[in-house]
Amino acid sequence: MLPDFNRLKVFYHIYSLNSIVATANALHLSQPAISQQLQKLEGELKVPLFTRLHKKLVPTAAGERLFNLVEPFIEKLQDEIPYIRQPLDRPAGMLRIGAPREFGKEYLPRFCHEFRQLYPDVMFKLKFKEAIPLLTMIREGILDYALVDVYFKQGELPSFSDIFSVAPLLKEEMILVCSQDYYQQNIAGDHSFKNLLSKEYITDEDDPSILSLWFKHNFHKIAENLNIVMTLDSHEALISALKLGMGLGVATAHLVWDEIQRGEVVPITTLRANMVNMISLVQLQDKVPTLTEKTFRDFMIARMQKAEILQRFQYTGS
């Protein structure tokens, strides 16, 4: 059950100042008031939050953990509450854009550079992440808009669909790959569900469902208890681990194009066409874009729709 929230605020100050007296002074209350509130919180949670030494409070493990929960919220609240009344507005000149990691790294600096040559007073904050974090950031107003990987099935985003507008722009194909060595020792032409189910997998932690999506797409079955031997927060490291022969992983076709051509990694194909991942422009539906946002958005879309970029992402399997 949730504790009294005002006591969490008192706890935050006690932990930060490491003193009941200092907290009392900071909150313009008496020392016994603070002492008693801390005790009541400990009673609610049924665990001591501090070890009392002479003139000193040492946080217990539970105290540490509670502080880690409470601190980000209170800091953020302090930052944001003064502006709670102001309309959603962007600081003049700054654009906050998101994109999928690899795509963003490849193209966004270039787009921004070209745009800045046209409009030198524009500045950028860029975030390259997977879909869910980017969508969360759009919703929270951290990002103005983002290019987002939206998987083939639109139903994957049910709870978000009402507040975003989604404009599809580009298709990426997602393929399961492993190294040549691993293929010859472990797969050897047997692309069956049963064989694949028994192998080792490497996943991208920001995209935990990609493997199950791949199995579902290709076999219409749920892959349970996959042996995931490594989780990474870097796509490049994932490719690197795949090339080392540590197992199988799902990769974006255009990002392993060269490796496939060189025979360093092998795609695992089935009778189904490759799983498709749509890159879309996502923004808050009710948001009124600034002129800067609109201009860069249109600029970026135009650049992306040139034939050379589209051709880059078409992979027709083996």
Partner DNA sequence: ACTATAGGATAAGCTAAACTTATGCTTCCA
Partner DNA sequence: TGGAAGCATAAGTTTAGCTTATCCTATAGT
- Residues of this chain that interact with a second copy (CB under 8 A) are 1-6, 8-9, 45-47, 61-62, 64-66, 68-70, 72-74, 76-78, 80-81, 84-85, 87-88, 101, 104-106, 108-110, 112-113, 116, 123-129, 139-141, 205, 228-234, 236-237, 240-241, 244-246
Compute the least distance from the CB of residue 2 to a second copy, in Å.
Answer: 6
Residues 183 and 250: their CA atoms lie apart, in Å, by 14
Of 2, 28, 158, 162, the residue at the interface with DNA (CB under 7 A) is 28
Asked if 35 touches DNA (CB under 7 A), the answer is yes
CA distance 4 to 11: 11
Task: Select from 100, 83, 168 the least CA-distant residue to 135.
Answer: 100
Residue 163 CB, shortest distance to DNA, in Å, is: 20
Angle (deg, nearest 10), helices 5-17 and 61-80: 100
- Smallest separation (angstroms) from DNA to the CB of 104: 41
In the complex with a second copy, the residue whose CB is nearer, 90 or 116, is 116
When CB distances are held under 5 to 8 angstroms depending on the partner's kind, the choice from DNA, a second copy, none that residue 231 binds is a second copy
Minimum CB separation of residue 62 from a second copy in Å reads 5
The yes or no reply on residue 31 touching DNA (CB under 7 A) is yes
CB of 78 to a second copy, least distance (A): 7
Among 40, 127, 216, 254, binds DNA (CB under 7 A): 40
Residue with Cβ nearer a second copy (80 or 190): 80
What does the DSSP 8-state code read for residue 273?
A: P
Rounded to 5°, the CA angle 184-186-191 comes to: 95
CA–CA distance, 254 with 259 (Å, rounded to integer): 10
Using the rule CB under 7 A, give the single segment among 33-41, 67-75, 187-195, 218-226 that binds DNA: 33-41
Spacing of C-alpha 79 from chain mean position: 23
Kindly state whether residue 33 participates in binding DNA, applying the rule CB under 7 A.
Answer: yes
Three-class SS string for 140-178?
CCCCCEEEEEEECCHHHCCCCCCCEEEEEEEEEEEEEEE
What's 79-106 look like in SS3? HHHHHCCCCCCCCCCEEEEEECHHHHHH
20 binding DNA? (CB under 7 A)? yes
Local structure of 309: helix, strand or coil:
helix
Q: How far is the CB of 79 from DNA (least distance, A)?
A: 24
**Eight-class DSSP state of 248:** B
By CB under 7 A, the residues from 45 to 104 that bind DNA are 52, 54-57
Task: Tell me how far, at minimum, the Cβ of 155 lies from a second copy, in Å.
Answer: 21
Is 37 a binding residue for DNA by CB under 7 A? The answer is: yes
Give the binding range for DNA (CB under 7 A) out of 35-43, 178-186, 248-256, 303-311. 35-43
Distance between CA 114 and CA 126 in Å, rounded?
A: 15
Catalogue the E-assigned strands of 180-296.
200-204, 227-232, 249-252, 265-268, 275-284
Binding mask 197-226 for DNA (x = CB under 7 A): ------------------------------
